Structure 1
Amino acid sequence: MSTPIGRTRTRGVETLSLDATGTRNALSASLVRALASALADCAGDADVRAVVLTHSGNTFSAGADLRDPPEPDALVGLLRQIVELPRPVVARVTGHVRAGGLGLLAACDLAAASATATFAFTEVRIGVAPAVISLPVIPRTDPRALARYYLTGERFDPAEAVRLGLLTAADEDVDAALAPILDGLRRSSPEALAETKRLLTARVLETFDRDAAELTALSARLFASGPAREGMTAFLQKRDAAWVV
C-alpha cells in the first residue's frame, strides 16, 4: 500500500517528504494522518537528531484538499505536533506553497527555500480565512507585512518570505543554504536542542492554548458557508468567483 509520506535518514537527520504529487501535496485527511504518524515515530526515536520536511513535485503543499479535507482539529493537532516535537523540524522548499501549506512551513523551527519557490495565502479568494494556520503563522511573522498577503491573496517570492519571517534562508541552491544549518544541528546536544526549542516555541504554544478552539470553530463555520461553497466551486471550475469585480 502506497503512503503519501516518503522517509529517508542520513547521519541522524530524518527526511519526511510529502509525496502526494497527484493532488499537489494538498492537505487531505489521509496525508495529515500519515505525516502525524511519521512525526510521532521521529519523536520516539532517540537516533533522530532533526527532521527535514520536504516534498516531491513542484509544490510543497497546495493547502487544504477541497475534496478530502482534514477535520480542523486534526490540522491543529498536526501543527502543534510539529511545534512541540522534541527535535528541530526544518522545512526544505523548492516549489509552490499555498494556504494551509504555509501553516506547515510556519510550524517548522527553520525553513529554507530555493529561488523557484512561491508563496500565497489564498484563503480569501475562495471565501474563507487563514484561521487555523494563524496559530503558528501570526506569532512568527511581521504583522504589518503579513496583513497585505492575508488580505489580498497575492503571490510573493522567497525574499519576501524571509522578510515576513516565514523563511530562515532563501538561495538558488536550497541544499547549500541548509548544509550549515544541518551541520550545526548534528553538532548540538540532543537534550540542549530540545530545551532550546522549548524556549523558542513558548509564545507559539501560548497562541495554541489561547486561540485554537476559537479558530477551529471559525474555520468550520467559514468552510460551511455560502461564500466558501461558491469560492471552492469557482476554484474547481477554474473561473472567477461571483464576487470578483
Structure 2
Amino acid sequence: MTELVHLDVESAIATITLDSPANRNALSAQLRRELIAHLGTALADESARVIVLSHTGRVFCSGMDLKETRGAGVSEQGVNEVPAILTTLWTSPKPVVARVAGPARAGGVGLVSACDIAVAATDASFAFSEVRIGVVPAVISVTVLPRLLPRAAHELFLTGETFDAVRAVTVGLVNSAVPAEGLDAEVARYTEMLRLGAPGALAATKRMLRAERPASMAGQFAEMQELSAGFFAGEEGQEGMRAFAEKRKPAWVVEG
C-alpha cells in the first residue's frame, strides 16, 4: 500500500506532507491513520523542534473523503477520528506551522486552524462548505472558532462562501499570505524564528496560550508570576541569560 503521508526530519524541522493528490488530499481512513501516526513520531523525536504540515498537489486538503462517508452509519463516520488529529495539533508542545499552497475545505480548514501558525499562498482559497452538502462544521469548530472573528464565523459558516488567503488573514484564520513563489521562504522565516526558542519555554508558552484565565486579575497575575519565576530560575532561563551576556547562541539553538 502506497503511503499517503510522509515524515521527514531535517535541521530540527519535522515536515509532515499529505500526499494523496488523486483525491485532493481528502481525509480518508488511511490518510487519517498515517497522519496521526506521523504526528506521534514527530512529537517523540527529540531532534524535531518544529513541525510543518505541508502537502503535494494542487489542493491542501479537501476535507472528509465523501466516497467513504456516503452510506456509513454514525459510528462508522471517519469524523469520529478527526478530534484526535486536531487535538494533537492543537496541544502539541512543539510549534506547528501549516504550509498551505492550495485550496482548503471543511476539515482541511480545521487542520489549518489547529496549527499555531498558518502561511498560505495568496491564490489559496478556503471554505466551510459543510452546510452546502447538508452537514454541520461541528468538529472543526472547536479549533476554528477560537481563531475567527465572531462576525466572520457566522458569515462563513452559514454561507459556505469561498474566500481567499488575504481574507483569511483579515478574519484571523491565517497569519501570512504571500505569492506562491515566496511561500517556502515565508514558512522558513517562521520556522527559523521558532527554532530560536527554548523547547521547554515554547511548550510552556503554548500551554499558557491555551489555558483558561482565572476570573480575577489578581489570580491571573499570581499564576503568571509563578510561571515566569520558575522559568527565570530554571535551566533554560539561566542558559539563555548566560548566552546573552556572553554574546553567543544558547545551547538549544540547532544550526541548520
Matched residue, 2:199:
190
The answer to whether structure 1 residue 176 and structure 2 residue 185 are counterparts is yes
In the alignment, residue 189 of structure 2 is paired with which amino acid? P
Matched residue, 2:158:
151
Deviation at 1:109, TM superposition (A): 0.5
Matched residue, 1:201:
210
Matched residue, 1:88:
95
Q: In 2, distance between residues paired with 1:19 and 1:8?
A: 13
Matched residue, 1:117:
124
Q: What's the CA shift string for 1:94-128, capped at 9, x where partnerless? A: 10100110000000010000112011110011001
Deviation at 1:67, TM superposition (A): 1.6
Normalised by the length of structure 2, the TM-score is 0.77
| 8 Å Cα contact 2:43-2:94 kept in structure 1 | yes
What SS does the aligned partner of 1:2 have? coil
Q: In 2, distance between residues paired with 1:174 and 1:202?
A: 31
Tell which has more relative contact order, 1 or 2 (C-alpha 8 A, sep 6+). Answer: 1
In the alignment, residue 42 of structure 1 is paired with which amino acid? A
What SS does the aligned partner of 1:37 have? helix
Q: In 1, distance between residues paired with 2:187 and 2:208?
A: 22
Q: What's the CA shift string for 1:37-91, capped at 9, x where partnerless? A: 0000011111110100010001000011012245333111110011111111100
What SS does the aligned partner of 2:63 have? coil
Q: In 1, distance between residues paired with 2:123 and 2:136?
A: 26
Q: Identity across aligned pairs (percent)?
A: 44
Matched residue, 1:43:
43
Q: In 2, distance between residues paired with 1:134 and 1:59?
A: 21
Structure 2 segments unaligned to the other structure (5+ residues): 70-76, 213-256
In the alignment, residue 94 of structure 1 is paired with which amino acid? A
Deviation at 1:8, TM superposition (A): 1.8
Normalised by the length of structure 1, the TM-score is 0.80
In the alignment, residue 133 of structure 1 is paired with which amino acid? I
Q: 4+ residue runs of structure 1 moved beyond 3 angstroms?
A: none
Q: In 2, distance between residues paired with 1:71 and 1:44?
A: 25
What SS does the aligned partner of 2:166 have? helix
Q: In 2, distance between residues paired with 1:170 and 1:63?
A: 21
Deviation at 1:141, TM superposition (A): 1.2
In the alignment, residue 2 of structure 1 is paired with which amino acid? T
| 8 Å Cα contact 2:51-2:96 kept in structure 1 | yes
In the alignment, residue 23 of structure 1 is paired with which amino acid? N
Matched residue, 2:2:
2
| 8 Å Cα contact 2:64-2:78 kept in structure 1 | no
Structure 1 segments unaligned to the other structure (5+ residues): 204-245
Aligned equivalent of 1:98, options 79, 92, 105: 105
What SS does the aligned partner of 1:27 have? coil
